Amino acid sequence: MDETLLIRPADLDDINTIGFLAQQIWPNTYGEILGPEQLKYMLNLIYSPMALRRQMVDEHQQFLIVEQADEPIGFASWSATGDPGIYKLHKLYVLPGRQGKGLGRTLLQFIFETIRPEGATKLRLNVNRINKARQFYERMGFTVIGEEDIDIGHGYFMNDYIMEIPVP
């Protein structure tokens, strides 16, 4: 079996793949943090085909898909913020069975290599305050620079840390 890792730009034709991956990843990632109704609400809010299209076209998020042996196993997205040199990492997800094998680090390196020539000096992200991904980001060199509670409707909030790293 070919275990070659491929990281490629995603486009509108990949919307269903990204949505499918999110459906596989999010229950494992957020199942102990969010209730089932909030999980369902957020998946629809962020990963419905219409939402993903809006993120790609209107919000100018750049998406990546990572594949191994021709199987999609993760994705990421980022965009410029409008503040000079500051980019935002919106998404970085890998299937549960593929986590802990360096794929997140590889995706981050790919993003750094992509945004550095565009003049990026900092990469910022939000992470749920009780998500174990915070430790991953800290190991990668991100530091907490603040907190925010984002009202996403229906009485739900995203309770996040804001983290940042200088672009290496």
pLDDT in tens, 37-87: 999 999 999 999 999 999 999 999 999 999 999 999 999 999 999 999 999
Q: For the chain, list the domains and their CATH numbers.
A: 5-125 (3.40.630.30)
> Which pLDDT score is estimated for 1?
43
Q: Where are the beta strands (DSSP E) in the chain?
A: 5-10, 62-68, 71-80, 86-94, 122-128, 143-153, 156-166
Q: What is the C-alpha separation between 24 and 29, in angstroms, rounded?
A: 9
Output the CA angle 68-66-83, nearest 5 degrees: 165
Stretch 12-35: mean pLDDT, rounded? 96
Q: What is the C-alpha separation between 44 and 7, in angstroms, rounded?
A: 25
pLDDT in tens, 82-125: 999 999 999 999 999 998 899 999 999 999 999 999 999 999 99
